[in-house]
Amino acid sequence: MAVLRVRDFDIHLGYFTGVDQRRLVDLLRACLVQAPLVRPVTPRGTPMSVRMSAAGQFGWVSDRAGYRYEPVHPSGQPWPAIPDMLINMWHDLVPDARSPECCLINWYDATAKMGMHQDKDEADLSQPVVSVSLGDEALFRMGNQTRGGKTESVWLRSGDVVVMAGAARTTHHGIDRVRAQSATLLPKGGRINLTLRVVT
């Protein structure tokens, strides 16, 4: 398995095989029965273009009350457990890290994107974030510790895993666009992004 290093981000190309990707999608569908996707809004009330859910002890939510982690889905139901496949991946790629407490599940259709941002709502920023791409390809843009300046982009393909640790942990990053129908994993197209992180 090749590892591509771009701006302190380690991209494990094709970490999940096609068979494992299909198995993982089935496990995620079971999670979403318990914790359905929702379309969050920003604190200003603007709907996001992605739909979200989560698994683990906590889920990340956004609404007019702000960005935060919550122990239950907006419906009031507890989040499902993080699938063992993802726990095993985490311990394989970041063996010295604490166990993940949240797996954010983001669903992108062909028009969705994610603006440049830092993951910094967690209590311990020394712990990594590990991101899994499934389905259609997405243009992943990596910036700097502060907003602005030169950026670099790479296309993430289904099965790729990005590790954000060290300097990359608080680097601005985002998804500029999704290449529609570029993968066959999801029958109706689209992209699933999973980000595992330690919350406390």
Provide the number of structural domains found in the chain.
1
> What CATH number corresponds to the domain at position 142?
2.60.120.590
Query: What is the sign, positive or negative, of the torsion defined by CA atoms of 2, 11, 158, 142?
Result: negative
- pLDDT of 3: 95
Average pLDDT score over the chain: 95
3 state SS of 75: coil
| Ranges assigned E (strand) in 66-113 | 66-70, 102-108
The domain of 50 spans 3-197
Q: Over the stretch 108-124, which tens digit does the pLDDT of each residue have? A: 999 998 989 999 999 99
Neighbours of 73 (CB within 10 A): 18
Name the pTM for this structure: 0.94
Q: What is the pLDDT of residues 23-73, one digit of tens each?
A: 999 999 999 999 999 998 888 888 889 999 999 999 998 888 888 999 999
CB burial of residue 160 (10 Å; 0-12, 13-18, 19+):
buried
Residue 189: its pLDDT value, please?
92
> Among 140, 113, 120, which Cα is nearest to 48's?
113
Q: pLDDT tens-digit profile of 156-199?
A: 999 999 999 999 999 999 999 999 999 999 998 999 999 999 99
